[in-house]
Structures are given as C-alpha cells and as structure tokens.
Structure 1
Amino acid sequence: MKYRRFGKTNLRLSVFSLGTMRCLASGENVERVVRHALSLGINHIETARGYGSSESDLGKVLAQLEAGQFYITSKIPPTPDRDLMERSIDESLSRLGVASLDCLAIHGLNTPEHLEWVLSPTGCMAAVQKAVADGRVRHVGFSTHAPLELILAAIDTGLFEFVNLHYYLFFQRHTAAIAIAHQRDLGVLIISPADKGGRLYTPPPQLQHLCAPQTPLALNYRFLLSDPRITTLSVGPAIPEELNEPLQVADRDEALNPTEIAALERLQAQMSATLGPEQCQQCYECLPCPESVAIPEILRLRNLAIAYDMDDYGKYRYGMLENAGHWFPGTKGNRCTHCGDCLPRCPAQLDIPTLLLDAHQRLQGQQGRRLWG
C-alpha cells in the first residue's frame, strides 16, 4: 500500500480509502470489512451522517480496535442553521465514539444556495469553525456533486483543506478542479471510481477487450493513481472480498506504462471511429438549457454506450436524472422541446435535439435513486 500527503492537512493517507456506504448489512459485516481493510494497509475510513446506521456501526467496531489505527472522516450536509450543525457534529462524535474527528466534510456542497449557507456568519461553517477551535474537528473539507464552476468557487473561499469529487477515466470534466485543488494544497479524494466511474466491476466484453491486458477497473485506478495530485480513491465494498481486486494496484502509483497508454489510445480511437461527427466533446457550451436538460451528461452516457457498450452504466446513471434532486440535477432527454437554443453554441455543430432523443431511447429504463437520502 502506498501513502500520500492529504494536502495541507498533512495527514498521510493510504491511496485507497474505505467507504462505508455499502457494508451495512449487519454490525458483524462492518467489522469484517474494517478489519480486512486494516490488514491490507488502508488507514482511512470515510462515512457520513446520512449513510443509515454507518456511524453507529463503525463506532462499535472502532471501540474494539487500538486507537489511532485509522483516520476517520465523516460528512454532514450543509445547513443555514448554525445550531443544527453544532448538534449534528456532537451527534456524529457520539455515534462514532470518538472525542474528535480527523476530518469533517460538508456533505453535498452542490448548489449556490449551499455555498451561501457555508459563507453566512450564521450558517453551518460557523459551527464547524468552533468545533475546530475547541478540538472536536481537526480538518475541514467538502464533498460535492456540483458543476465545475461551483466547485472552483468553493475552493476559492479558502475555507477548506480537502475536497471529495467525481473524476475518472470516463469523466474528466473536473480536470480544472484537480489542478486548482493541487495549487491550493488541498487533499483530493475521488468518490466511487469503480461504481460512479463506470460500473467497472462488471464491464461489458467490448470494454474489456479495449483495455486488455489490464481490466477496465485496474486501468481506471492506474489512470487516477498515476496522477500525484490525487491523494486517495474511495472503495466501498459490501463484503471484505470486494477489497481484494482494487488493492492489487495499491502499490502502483508510478507513471502509466506503454501498455496502459496503448489501451487509452485504443479507447480514444474507438470513440472517434464509432461516433464520428456525432461525438460530444464535453465542452458544456450547450448549457444552460431552458428545460434544464442535462445535455452534456446525457451525451456523455450516449458516447460510452455506443463506443464501449456501456449500456448498463448509462441506464444506471440516466435513471438518476429527475430522481436524485441536487445530487444528480437536470432533466432527461425527452424533455427537449427542440427550441434550438443550444445549437449555435455547439462548436461541433451537433444536432443536439436528435441526439438527446436517441440517448433517451437507448438509456431509458427503471428510475434510479440514491442509496441514502
């Protein structure tokens, strides 16, 4: 296991962090997962107030372990109510059975209103700063599903020491956020690179072929670990054995080798060949949409479905639209009214309304929801 400095927190975290959202079947299961993670060299656990009984279940396990074996991060949603945040911090500490948190993240800083709550003198950050001053919290960051512009604005406040965000081989929109976070010496945790990054535990044969000899999951992890600006990747096993495959690359944070680079080049060539002039280049110039259609995200999922047969992933993510609030904002492709507002802004001159309808027909399926509210 490799370890990296978590930005200005100066904590040295394992390059894989244990996420606890999925290992909640029973207290016994949580204990098995945590002990296995420890045996593999993981020294950072990430949980959240909103993950069901995760904090309480984790607290029972921590009580049985020697103190100091793990760094603990918990996450609490933003609120305009300073007193509510104060109570939430104390409740999380009580559930975890600890006197202080190594890291506290504002959980889901996703909208301009959330950022206003953080900046308000009577909002949640006032309570967080008090907790830092009296020792209940050591370091403060934020997790986000926000647009790039809001992420950059949150970093620019200077209030945070780390950021948890989405950034993967198949979603590189937040490249600028990685760069700015590094310039500001913020630690960077990547959220769910296996699942949100492409459902890479169960890749389609086409994607496996293009990534060979490495698996798509390993290639995605190597793409991330080869970037020294990134500190740690969240891995959220439901059972202990699900830690084994990801951690096969836990000692490999060197630059990408020729075989891996060749696989990335094959992926790009396949994308260009199969989509041709219909490929969305993810410039986001089409936004805003009068109907709030999530144009770039929908066309990204269409790109992946056509180029790599990632239909299962596309349907999974597409089904979240209109069903996950600010965690996955925007409306589906069938909401397009063919107003033409986006057309002159597209550098590639794509027929966006037609592509949105095609994406909707390909990807519509069961409605999705977040695992935890």
Structure 2
Amino acid sequence: MQYRRFGKTNLNLSVFSLGTMRYLANAENAYQTIEKALALGINHIETARGYGKSEEFFGKALQAGLSVPRSQLYITTKIPPTVDADTMRRYIDESLEKLHLDYLDCLGIHGLNTWEHLELVQAGCIQAVQEAIADGKVRHVGFSTHGALDLIQAAINTDLFEFVNLHYYYFFQRHAPAIQLAAEKDIGIFIISPADKGGRLYTPPQTLKDLCAPFSPLELNYRFLLSDCRITTLSVGPTNPEELIAPLQVADNIDELTAAEIAAFERLANQQQIALGTEKCSQCYACLPCPENINIPEVLRLRNLAVAYDMTDYAKYRYGMFENAGHWFPGMKANRCTECGDCLPRCPENLDIPALLEDSHERLNGKAGRRLWG
C-alpha cells in the first residue's frame, strides 16, 4: 500500500480508503471487513450519518478492539448540510457517540449538491463545525458533492474546506477543472466510488475487457487515477472482506502510466470515435439549460458508453436514477423532450439532440433506480 499527503490536512492517507456504505449485512461482517482492510494497509475509513447502521457498526468494531491503534487510523464521517448550527452540533455529537470516538479526523459536509446547500453551509452550519474544531471534536473539514462543476468550484473557492470528495474517472472527466483548482489550493482530493459510479467496472462487458486487455477495465481506471499525483485516495466499498483483495492489487502502483497503459487508453478513445462517429457527444455542456430540465450531457454520456463499449448495464443503472434520486442525480428522463429546439443552435457539433435523446431513452429505459441510502 502506498500513502499520500491529503492536501492541507497533512494527513498521510493510504491511496485506497475503506468506504462503509455496503458492508452492512451485520456487525460481524463489518468488523471482519474493517480488519481485512487494516491488514492490507488501509489507514483511512469513511462512513456517514446517512449510511444506515454504518456508524454504529464501526463503533462496535472499535469497542471490540482493532489490530491497529486509534492513533494510526484516520476516520471520516459525513453529515448533510443543516438548516442551523444547533442541528449540526447535535449531529456531530450523535455521530461521535455512535462511533465511540472522542474526535473525528475528518468531517465531510455530505452531499453539497445544490446552491441552496452551499448557502446553508455559509449561513450557519459551518459555524458549528468550526466550534467543533476549536473544541477538539473535529480536526479537519471538507465536503462531498454530486453537484455541478460550477458549484464545486464555488465551494472550493470559499476556502472553508480542506478536502473534497469528487466523482472523477476515466469515463467521466467533467470535473477535471475542479481537480486542478483543488490541487492549486492544496485541498485533499478523495475520489468517490471509482469501481461502481466509474462504470460498474467490476462486471465489465466483453467489448470493454477486450479493449483494455491485457489490463482489466477496473485496473485501468484505478491506474488512470493513481497515476495522477494530485489525487490522494480512492474509495473502495466492499460488501465483505474478500471483495477487498482484487482492487488492492494495484495499491502499490502509483507511478506514471506505462506505454502499454497509454496504448489501452488510445484504443478506448479510438473505439468511441469509430462507434459513435458524428453522433458522439463531447460533453461541452453548451446545450444546457434545458427547458424540460433534462440533463442532456449526462444522458448522452451514458449513450456514448452504451454504443461505444456495450456498457449498457451501467448506462441503464445510472439512467434509471433520473427522476428517482433527487439532488443526488438530478434531471428528467430523455422522453420528456418536447423537441423545442432550444439546444440545437448551442451545440458546436450540430448534433440532432432530440433524436439522440429519443434513442437514448429507447436503449436505456428500464426499472427505476434509487440511491442505496436515499
């Protein structure tokens, strides 16, 4: 396991962090998963108030005794923005009680996804966090986000935060400017769910496996991220101890991309161009806003992946969350398009966006999805 400095927090974190949203079968499974992570060199564990019994299970594991002393563990929990400072104070105390901790190494404002959330933070709840820091209950504060790029950049520019949890992967590079801004401000960068949100790469289609060979798609995505020295750590979210083994096989490989890895990425780019041709959406976001609140770029990104790489299962999984996950995955489904034409003159690639939206809905519409802890 390699370790990197987590921005201005100056914490030295393992390049993989244990995410605890999915280990919730029971307290014993949680304990065994945590112990396996520690044995493999992970020193950063992340939970959240909203992850079911995750905080409670982790607290029980601490009480039972772990193989690594508390002083060598870095523990993060996340709490959503609150309407007032008093509520945030209460939530911090409740999390500390569930976790059986005297202090949190890191507290993340969880789901800073809208401008209203940022206003709530600035208007009051950050005061409670800063008081908790002064009282020794919290050592560092950051935020996690599923929000738009301009919101993320605005949150970083408040200078209130020491780290950020971001979506950023080979198959979703929209937030590259936020990565750069965070690095310039020495803000620690934690990448959320690169295996699942990054493309369900633990169950890749054969087309994608062939293009990535001799590497697995998951390994290649991890290498895309770990080769970027601005990024400190990636979350890995197993449901049991055994699911930690395969991802962490790349935990020592954080050097620059090799020639073979670069060649694999070039094959992926070439395949997308060939498969999509003049129907390829390049994700410029100029088509927004949409009068019907369709997240056109994200819909067409999912179409890109389905057409180019047969990543249809992943695309359906994400598409099914539209209209079902609130501010965590905003936007209406593509069949809401009225063919008003507002987006057409704004598209620099002259895409027939209404036709592509119709095709996307036909390809991807299936059962409704939701967040695991919604």
Q: TM class, shorter-chain normalised?
A: over 0.9
Q: Which residue of 1 aligns with 2:116?
A: 113
Q: Pick from 100, 104, 116: which aligns with 1:101?
A: 104
Where in structure 2 are there 5+ consecutive unaligned residues?
none
Q: Per-residue deviation at 1:79? A: 1.3
Per-residue CA deviation, residues 124-174 of structure 1 (Å, 9 max, x unaligned), is 111111101111000000000000000000000000000001000100000
Q: Which residue of 2 aligns with 1:166?
A: 167
Separation in 2 of the partners of 1:79 and 1:332?
29
Corresponding position: 1:67 with 2:70: yes
Number of residue equivalences? 371
Task: Show the 5 A alignment for 1:294-333.
Answer: 294-333=295-334
Separation in 2 of the partners of 1:55 and 1:118?
23
Letter in 2 for 1:80: V
Normalising by structure 2, we get a TM-score of 0.99
Separation in 2 of the partners of 1:67 and 1:125?
26
Separation in 1 of the partners of 2:70 and 2:86?
30
Q: Secondary structure at the match of 1:371?
A: coil
Corresponding position: 1:3 with 2:6: no
Q: Per-residue deviation at 1:69? A: 3.4
Q: Secondary structure at the match of 1:103?
A: strand
Q: Which residue of 2 aligns with 1:135?
A: 136
Where in structure 1 are there 5+ consecutive unaligned residues?
none
Q: Secondary structure at the match of 1:75?
A: strand
Normalising by structure 1, we get a TM-score of 0.99
Q: Per-residue deviation at 1:302? A: 0.2
Q: Which residue of 1 aligns with 2:58?
A: 58
Q: Secondary structure at the match of 1:188?
A: strand
Corresponding position: 1:86 with 2:89: yes
Separation in 2 of the partners of 1:194 and 1:368?
18
Letter in 2 for 1:118: V
Per-residue CA deviation, residues 238-266 of structure 1 (Å, 9 max, x unaligned), is 01111111101000000000110000000
* Identical residues among aligned pairs (%): 70
Q: Per-residue deviation at 1:67? A: 2.2
Task: Show the 5 A alignment for 1:243-254.
Answer: 243-254=244-255
Per-residue CA deviation, residues 198-234 of structure 1 (Å, 9 max, x unaligned), is 0000000000000000000000000000000000000
Letter in 2 for 1:285: A
Separation in 2 of the partners of 1:283 and 1:291?
19
Letter in 1 for 2:304: N
Q: Secondary structure at the match of 1:45?
A: strand
Q: Secondary structure at the match of 1:182?
A: helix
Q: Which residue of 2 aligns with 1:34?
A: 34
Q: Which residue of 2 aligns with 1:219?
A: 220
Letter in 1 for 2:47: T
Separation in 1 of the partners of 2:228 and 2:10?
18
Q: Secondary structure at the match of 1:358?
A: helix
Letter in 2 for 1:320: M
Q: Secondary structure at the match of 2:105?
A: strand
Separation in 1 of the partners of 2:82 and 2:51?
17
